[in-house]
Structure 1
Amino acid sequence: MEKYKVVEIFESINGEGRKAGQLAIFVRFQKCNLNCSYCDTRWANSEDSPYISMSADEIYKRILESGITNVTLTGGEPLLQNNIVELLEKLAENQDLKVEIETNGSVNLEKFSRIKNPPSFTMDYKLPSSLMEERMDLENFKYLTEKDTVKFVSGSMEDLEKARYIIEKYSLIGKCGVYISPVFDKIELSEIVEFMKKYKLNGVNFQLQIHKVIWDPESKGV
């Protein structure tokens, strides 16, 4: 049976996105294929990051024991895990679970979107200040549905302009959820709001990472 490299499993609230403020159980996997300038989980991203080896059954059992129905698979980049489809299919069997995958936008989503009862995707589009924009898989916009979300983490006016361009080019409003959030301590929050007002970005959500307000921004397991 395939094993997964899990760096932590914890219960908290969703800090961002459509279920912000709701309880969730988080499964964080090891390893990422990107190296964003503002990354706040580098401790989980390398091949050397400590992890626990867990099977799909073990992860599923831990989720059920939590009594929490919102499940967030995160990383790192969870879609890099060997045979992650097996775990997704296991979770999909339980209609009570609401499974979300946080993915970085560089991994093609086609095969994952074809799973019966697929998870919802919260997909980043990496903007210029991330230094990873050239790694984005633009085909992914074809596979997003109304239950999915695109997130733009913005640290500059250049980032905001690029986010607006992508939103319009791929007609994201109405297709999926659209969120803009700040790079922590890199841009004035009011700048984002004023930008949204200037361009009448109806249907776009401005969000803060709630967990970084409640706890220290460097805290793990929250």
Structure 2
Amino acid sequence: MGKYKVVETFVSINGEATHAGELACFIRFAGCNLACGYCDTKWANEPQVPYKSMSAEEIYAYIKSCGVKNVTLTGGEPLIQPEIEWLITLLSADKALRVEIETNGSVDIAGYDARPENVCMTLDYKLPDSGMEQFMRTENYAWLKPQDAVKFVVSSTRDLETAKKIIETYDLCAKATVYLSSAFSAITPAQIVEYMIQENMKDVRLQLQMHKYIWDPEKKGV
């Protein structure tokens, strides 16, 4: 099997999604196929970013050495990594682990429809202010599982209106857990809550990127 370009490995809390606040082992991969205006890991997407070449077995050994059950594969974009399917298969075979794959919504997930319950996808939907909405694959919503999540990072009222439309059009709350999150310093959480009340978005959850409130928003390894 091949090697993976890994730019960070660390243990911290999950800052968002269904296991927010719980300890997790993070594996951050180099490279992304998008360039969102608010991206907080642009450094990991630079062509010359330093990385460690690790095999699937080495990644698994590191995860087990950490002694935590939550694993977050992030980036960059994990699903564009060559042979990522093998790593996911290896990790999912260990039923003591809960594996979360953070993906940006532009990559086809149909090939992962047979994944077991201990593997979840957190899909972004890139809203208009991200500059990347045209790359979103809404056909992915046919492959969502109950353990999955769809995340909307909001920068403006226009973004909120678009998120509401997408949530309703694809009946996302019936398929997965749906989150609204504020692009840090672009819109306040209070503004999002006000909109949720106004539009009676009773099955949608607000989330805060906890790590950005605990540490400096630019700090790595958290």
Q: If the TM-score is normalised by the length of the shorter chain, which range does it land in?
A: over 0.9
Query: How many residues matched?
Result: 222
Between the aligned partners of 1:11 and 1:151, the Cα distance in structure 2 is: 22
Which whole-Å CA distance do the structure 2 matches of 1:114 and 1:46 have between them? 33
Cα deviation digits, residues 99-121 of structure 1 (max 9, x gap): 00000000000112234556200
Aligned to 1:26: 26
In structure 1, the partner of 2:189 is: 189
Q: Is the 8 A contact 1:10 1:26 kept in 2?
A: yes
The answer for the alignment partner of 2:106 in structure 1 is 106
**TM superposition score normalised by structure 2:** 0.98
**Normalising to structure 1: TM-score of the pair?**
0.98
Deviation at 1:47?
2.6
What stretches of structure 1 move > 4 A for 4+ residues in a row?
Answer: none
1:199-220 Cα offsets, whole Å, 9 max, x none, are 1101111011100011000000
For residues 14-163 of structure 1, what are the structure 2 equivalents within 5 Å?
14-116=14-116, 119-163=119-163
* Cα pair 2:98 2:118 within 8 Å, conserved: no
Structure 1 residues without counterparts, runs of 5 or longer: none
- Write out per-residue CA displacement over residues 61-91 of structure 1, whole angstroms, 9 at most, x where no aligned residue: 0000000000000000000110000000100
Percent identity at matched positions?
Answer: 53
**Superposition RMSD in Å:** 1.0
Provide the secondary structure at the position in 1 that maps to 2:160: helix
Unaligned ranges ≥5, structure 2: none
Contact 2:28 2:73 in 1 (8 A): yes
Indicate if the aligned counterparts of 2:154 and 2:183 stay in contact, CA closer than 8 A.
yes
- 1:6-49 CA-to-partner distances (Å, cap 9, x unmatched) read 00100000001111100000000000000000000000013311
Contact 1:112 1:118 survives alignment (8 Å): no
